[in-house]
Amino acid sequence: MNLGSYLTRSSTFWPGEEALVCGTHRWTYRDLEERTNRLASALLARGVQPGQAVGTLADNRAELVETELALYKAGFLRVPISARLSAGEVEHVLTDAGVRVLLVDAEHADVAREAVENAGLRCTLISYDGGTNGVEDYAGLLSGGSPKPVAVEVREDEPAVLHFTSGSSGKLKAAVQTHRNRLANMRKRLMSPEGAPCPGERYLAAGPITHATGIGLLASFARGAAVVVLPRWSPEAFLRTVESERITSTFLVPTMLNQVLSDPALATADLSTLRCVRVGGAPVSPQRLRDAVGAFGPVVMQGYGQGETTSGVTVLTCEDIVRGIEEDPELLLSAGRAVFDTEVAVVDDDGHPVPAGELGEVVVRGPDCVREYWHEPELSAQTFRDGWVHTGDIGYLRADGYLFIVDRKKDMIISGGYNVYCSEVEAVLYEHAAVSEVCVVGVPDERWGEAVKAVVVARPPAAVTEQELIDFCADRLARFKKPRSVDFVTELPVNRNGKIDRRRVRDAGTRCSRRPGRSPISPC
């Protein structure tokens, strides 16, 4: 098999149709097929062997997409590195993965060079923006490659992608996604309720394509759709691009959704072409789902998944969300039902399934679920057991199969002996009209062990007080669940994937003695 062959087939079906757009770049399927063949053949000619690691370190750009497809064609191990990593973290990834070639943009060339030199690696650096100072030129590399189709035969169980993530622990680890996992992901996208974009439709990759935003690109290319890449995120750029490029589908993490919903330009933007706005990567409050449907129409859906599952494992469809708004409010708290050939269960500490409605750990299995972490045997043994991925998420299943994620195991607050789930408190706070964004964490407390703290971005900044929000929660939650303190900030920290970074919020709350009024997340 070879995943890149799907692009080759599409280039014969729709050679003149637009395949990839980013800024001023507009490439047809014929263009993209030729360029990916040139890159794949040029790297093979330089002695890089199938199975060896080739990395990328760059902000969103068209070349990242063509590099991914070329690496599939040549059978290389793809190592997408988040552009938000520090030099030390980049060094760790390069060393751990054994990266032989690293493709970078100008902005990250110095970080890459420093990481390679510090690690003493034999790693060739190639710049998308032109060669200089020991870094080779990407355009020159392509010009030396052959446009003839490349499709190195690979086994399904061979590693295709090392998906590095820190999760809630802060330690970088890589889920080993095989060619089989990636193929299953593509198949699931094609079979999912909304399907992959079809010829004539246009998918907007608005977030970092090294992570969840880019996971479905292969399915789009297999169907002959156009992929539009947003070079840099902003709500203004998102709205402008949806309108000018006539976007039909996109993916947003909740932080991005909040920014779009708060942007004044939303009121006048033409979003009539959108038929699917998928939200995922973190829990979405019921109120934000209602707001999203109000803004985009009944085209909003929510998904749940992890790097360890390669893709989404459950989906709350557009119809589900409309039904939740109109007649079944509990549905808006759900992550949806299992998709296609994925199995989802909730188990106790001994791994036994629990009855519907009872809390336990969410476990998942299916052909897109990975089986190990790279060079982490002990962590692999903890996470991947008896064919199941143990997600570390606490949740329950409703009798009709809808999954409800309550919290991460590590994020649960134990206050006075009672369990408090951050997402439950956040969902209530999002119902307050003055709350734009919120992150709830547990902080040390001499009396209760842990106390509930809410860190809030208000709109407008002086629209609400600490006591108002505490009272608002007290009217809607059990007494032990209400926040004991509320801090106001101008923005919440986000991690490499654009999600609110709960660990940084918690660490800041632990370091700082609580002060009334407004206090920054960092520095204390």
249 belongs to a structural domain: no
- Cα-Cα-Cα-Cα torsion 353, 354, 356, 359, nearest 10 degrees, comes to -120
- Both 404 and 420 in one domain: the answer is no
pLDDT at 261 over 80: yes
Placement of tokens 């990395």 in the chain? 55
What are the C-alpha distances in Å from 427 to residues 58, 476, 502?
Answer: 35, 11, 15
**pLDDT attached to residue 523:** 27
| Confidence band for 126, pLDDT divided at 50, 70 and 90 | very high
- Which pLDDT value is given to residue 448? 80
Mean pLDDT of all residues in the chain?
91
Q: What is the pLDDT of residue 220?
A: 95
- From 308, 500, 357, select the one nearest 423 (Cα to Cα): 500
pLDDT at 76: 98
- Do 416 and 404 share a domain, yes or no? no
Q: Please tell me whether residue 482 adopts helix, strand or coil conformation.
A: coil
Please tell me whether residues 396 and 423 are part of one structural domain.
no
What mean pLDDT is predicted for residues 374-385? 95
CA atoms of 219 and 428, how far apart (whole Å): 37
> Has residue 298 been placed in a domain?
no
Cis peptide before 147 (omega within 30 of 0): no
Whether 344 and 161 have beta carbons less than 8 Å apart is answered as no
83 shares a domain with 142: yes
Q: Structurally, how many domains does the chain consist of?
A: 3
**Listed residues 352, 386, 408: the one ending a domain:** 408
Q: For the ranges 176-185, 303-312, 367-376, 492-501, which has the lowest average pLDDT?
A: 492-501
Residues 387 and 428 reside in one and the same domain? no
Q: Do residue 391 and residue 473 come from a single domain? A: no
Residue 194 has pLDDT above 80, yes or no: no
> 195 in a domain, yes or no?
no
Q: What is the CATH number of the domain that holds 479?
A: 3.30.300.30
Identify which of 380, 284, 381 has the alpha carbon closest to the alpha carbon of residue 335. 284
Q: Which contacts (CB < 8 Å, 24+ apart) does range 356-361 have?
A: 356/396, 356/397, 356/398, 356/399, 357/396, 357/397, 357/398, 357/399, 358/396, 359/394, 359/395, 359/396, 359/406, 360/394, 360/395, 360/396, 361/390, 361/391, 361/392, 361/393, 361/394, 361/395, 361/409
Phi, psi of 277, deg, nearest 5: -120, 105
pLDDT of 297 reads 97
Same domain, 129 and 76: yes
Tell me, yes or no, whether 454 and 360 share the same domain. Answer: no
Residue 210 inside a domain? The answer is: no
* Domain CATH number, residue 402: 2.30.38.10
Q: What pLDDT shows up at residue 517?
A: 39
Helical segments of 263-389, H only:
286-296, 318-326, 377-383
Inform me whether the pLDDT recorded for 201 exceeds 50.
yes
Sign of CA pseudo-dihedral 384, 390, 391, 392: negative
SS3 412: coil
- How far is 156 from 358, CA to CA, in rounded Å? 37
Quick check: 487 and 454 in contact, CB under 8 A? Answer: yes
Number of residues in the chain: 524
Same domain, 396 and 417: no
108 with 50, same domain: the answer is yes
**pLDDT above 90 (res 172):** no
149: domain CATH number is 3.40.50.980
Is 137 within the bounds of a domain? yes
Q: How far is CA 472 from the centre of its chain?
A: 32
Q: Is 115 left (phi over 0), alpha (psi -120 to 50) or beta?
A: alpha
d(C-alpha 309, C-alpha 5), whole Å: 23
Question: Is residue 251 scored above 90 in pLDDT?
Answer: yes
Among residues 86, 119, 154, which one ends one of the domains?
154
pLDDT per residue over 431-457, tens digit each?
A: 999 999 999 999 988 778 789 999 999
Average pLDDT over residues 57-81: 97
Tokens of residue 294, six digits: 């109000």
* Residue that finishes a domain, picked among 108, 129, 154: 154
487-506 pLDDT tens trace: 999 999 987 767 888 888 98
What is the residue range of 389's domain? 341-408
Which positions ≥6 away from 355 have C-beta within 8 Å? Answer: none
Nearest to 89 by CA among 173, 205, 2: 173
Q: Are residues 423 and 470 in the same domain?
A: yes
Q: Kindly state whether residues 428 and 401 are assigned to the same domain.
A: no
